[in-house]
Structure 1
Amino acid sequence: MTALSTLSCLPIAICLAMITACSSPAGQNSNPPADDTTMASLPEAAAFRDTVAGKETGLFVLKNAAGMEAAVTNYGGRLVSLLVPDKAGNMVDVVVGYDSLQSYLGGGDSYFGALVGRYGNRIAHGQFSLDGKTYRLATNNGPNHLHGGKKGFSKQVWDVLERTDSSLTLHYRSKNGEEGYPGNLDVKVVYTLGDDNALKIGYEASTDQPTIVNLTNHSYFNLNGQGNGTITNHILQINADRYTPVDSTLIPTGQLQNVTGTPFDFRKPTVIGARMNAPDQQLKYGKGYDHNFVLNGEPGALKHAATVTGDLSGIVMEVYTREPGVQFYTGNFMGGAHTIKGGKKDGHQTAFCLETQHFPDSPHQPSFPTTVLRPGDTYRTETVFRFPAEP
């Protein structure tokens, strides 16, 4: 029996049936009727064949025996598409992304589907100290450093080490001093699409100098299909008793606050938008949810982090990870400025992210789990997005 098979899923289908007749929460955009039964397809591979900074790019398709497909480009190691069957058996693309490499190159800092590093999430004031030395980083998110800097891992062309019908192994060498980080860091990431309808992302890294590492994948999901309305009526459950409140620049205060009695209590399946307009200062800071949740479970063990259900499609996504936290983001800064796959727009709150991670700003918070990696040690972690055939 696998680790995943021993973990039971909460009865979200019951909650789904209860809300399907309800209207959207006050102030939220409603979703369109579920009358589009067109089967989704992957972007054209030719639209990703190019050369960036002297390195070849491409689109690599993974398949499993159940008919699921995933498309990954080595530009930024990005998950471009993920085709999943809905409750009617139609294939739905649940990942927001672009139809071509050129769109990713010109799409701004959306991080759609990207591998993020050297440090995912924020570091206060664009600096950190390690072993008595201070390192200066880019401040590309207000006063803070975000997702590895102005040209982090999401904007690099990764080397393809190995590919099979169901897996893709990528490698990137981040040189000493890149974006201000110390040490040459060798990173390997493996995407695997299993016959159990699980997309696994395995991470491994080593360094020749002490450094900090916090890798994640920044996929934006809409389980009704990318571009198909808001995600505010999706149903979410997060296996976390606490979260890390933030200041006005979205840097953690250092506290681990209990979710009881707050809009951050997703321990039971809850409609995402049900409390998003609550008079809560944390929601005002994030313009919605943009917060790290402290996951329950044994540190370093593969554990159930979250479960989400598409209110129209019936698609269920379970998230498992070895990371201590997950950043839940509700697409609050999406504004319809970009044309995504199929000519649709990335409208406000039309996608959510569940970025498995160590906590934001850990280098400034000694009580948070450490993100320091030293020579001779190996950084290893994994995250699994599983789509059970029967919710």
Structure 2
Amino acid sequence: MTTTSSFGELPDGSPVTAYRLTSGDGLVLTVLDLGATVQSLTWGEGQPSIVIGYDDVAGYLSTDNDYQGAVVGRYANRVAGARFTLDGVEHRLDANDATSCLHGGHRGYDRRVWALAGRDDRSLTLELESPDGDQGFPGNLRARARYELTERSVTLTLTATCDRRTVVNLTNHSYFNLAPGGSSVDSHTLEVQADQYLPVDGRSIPVGHLEDVTGTPFDLRTAARIGDRVRAPHPQVRAARGIDHSFQLRGSGLRPVAVLAEPASGRRLTVLTDQPALQVYTGNFLTGRTVAGDRLLRQGDGIALETQRHPDAPNQPALGPATLEPGDEYRNTTVWQLDRT
């Protein structure tokens, strides 16, 4: 079933609504229309959330918010120099991460109230109109986020259409922590179906080529303890203060690409996607953030598994297509399957 409640107001008085979806086996998903944000995801009534979120609107609007649970865009991840050229025209974007545009700019999709486009007993669809020139991106874009709750799984389908050739890369930026007590994810294990990863420079911009994961901390083809990998003496890990890298996923179509597990509780999250890449971010800069329940986060208290296109692809065509044509539909389907070992 789906219920609604007030989550507060924006500074201009606009209301923010929380939508609560419950499955037959007790899984509870709460989504805000602010940023189409996953505010919480629990295994049952009264259980702690396995997704990091805030208790109020102020938290989501604060500078402490590291995109917790939000749908980010128009282009998720980084665009170098906050600019790209399309059809011979240079488009200058909003630079909000030093000289780069990160997750769409200062006022990306995570900072907008999405409109209700439909709901039923097990799903919710939110919609956002992004005008031509929004944060510097060309073309009018209509984005939709559809959350569907089934037995022990959440399916998120992100779609977009445009009236002018543009670039699009949408993803959900939830931070997961499967430990019932919310301790560090260091003790979690992570498996990623990827033979290659994308090295980055000191600005976290891809250097332009994929590298084999063999012999590196990025070899997650078999489950590895996260705490061991984020402390490995590797220059890429050192520069990022952990892992904050894009992985080239095996296969195509909707398929399982990652498994996050917490051995002590036996909880397991399997991620399926139809996207070519997965950004693994081990919460390297979460320290000092106060979130739901007045909990003070430490570095590594959550991990983001962002299904998407590669970062900076608008400037580096070799990293894969990044454009959307008028008349076509962008689509990103992601499934979070929850179970216990």
TM-score above 0.5, yes or no: yes
Q: For residue 327 of structure 1, what is the amino acid of its counterpart? A: Q
Contact 2:171-2:306 at 8 Å conserved across structures: yes
Identity %: 39
Contact 2:5-2:19 at 8 Å conserved across structures: no
Name the residue aligned to 2:171.
Answer: 216
How much has 1:47 moved relative to structure 2?
5.8
Q: For residue 332 of structure 1, what is the amino acid of its counterpart? A: N
Unpaired segments of 5 or more residues in structure 2? Answer: none
Q: For residue 199 of structure 1, what is the amino acid of its counterpart? A: V
Deviations along 1:270-295, one digit per CA (max 9) or x if unpaired, are 10111322221101121100000000
Tell me if 1:259 matches 2:192: no
Q: What aligned pairs does 1:290-309 form with structure 2 within 5 A after superposition? A: 290-298=244-252, 301-309=253-261
Residue 386 of structure 1 aligns to a residue whose secondary structure is strand
Name the residue aligned to 1:111.
Answer: 67
Name the residue aligned to 2:91.
Answer: 135
Unpaired segments of 5 or more residues in structure 1? Answer: 1-43
Residues in 1 aligned to 2:5 and 2:139: alpha-carbon distance in whole angstroms: 36
Tell me if 1:73 matches 2:32: yes
Q: What aligned pairs does 1:77-226 form with structure 2 within 5 A after superposition? A: 77-84=36-43, 91-195=47-151, 197-225=152-180
Contact 1:95-1:222 at 8 Å conserved across structures: yes
Name the residue aligned to 1:37.
Answer: none
- 2:293 pairs with one of 342, 352, 365: 342
How much has 1:312 moved relative to structure 2?
3.0
Cα distance change on mapping 1:51 and 1:342 into 2, 3 Å:
closer
In the alignment of these two chains, the number of paired residues is 339
Deviations along 1:59-78, one digit per CA (max 9) or x if unpaired, are 10011111000000000110
Residues in 1 aligned to 2:89 and 2:256: alpha-carbon distance in whole angstroms: 37
Residues in 1 aligned to 2:242 and 2:210: alpha-carbon distance in whole angstroms: 19
Q: Normalising by structure 2, what TM-score?
A: 0.95
Residues in 1 aligned to 2:49 and 2:177: alpha-carbon distance in whole angstroms: 8
Residues in 1 aligned to 2:315 and 2:35: alpha-carbon distance in whole angstroms: 27
Name the residue aligned to 2:201.
Answer: 247
Contact 1:249-1:285 at 8 Å conserved across structures: no
Contact 1:96-1:113 at 8 Å conserved across structures: yes
Structure (1/2) with the larger strand percentage: 2
Name the residue aligned to 1:324.
Answer: 276
Contact 2:6-2:16 at 8 Å conserved across structures: no
Q: For residue 78 of structure 1, what is the amino acid of its counterpart? A: T
Deviations along 1:218-258, one digit per CA (max 9) or x if unpaired, are 00111114x72211110110000000111111101111101
Residues in 1 aligned to 2:6 and 2:118: alpha-carbon distance in whole angstroms: 21
Residues in 2 aligned to 1:66 and 1:169: alpha-carbon distance in whole angstroms: 22
Q: What aligned pairs does 1:3-22 form with structure 2 within 5 A after superposition? A: none
RMSD: 1.8
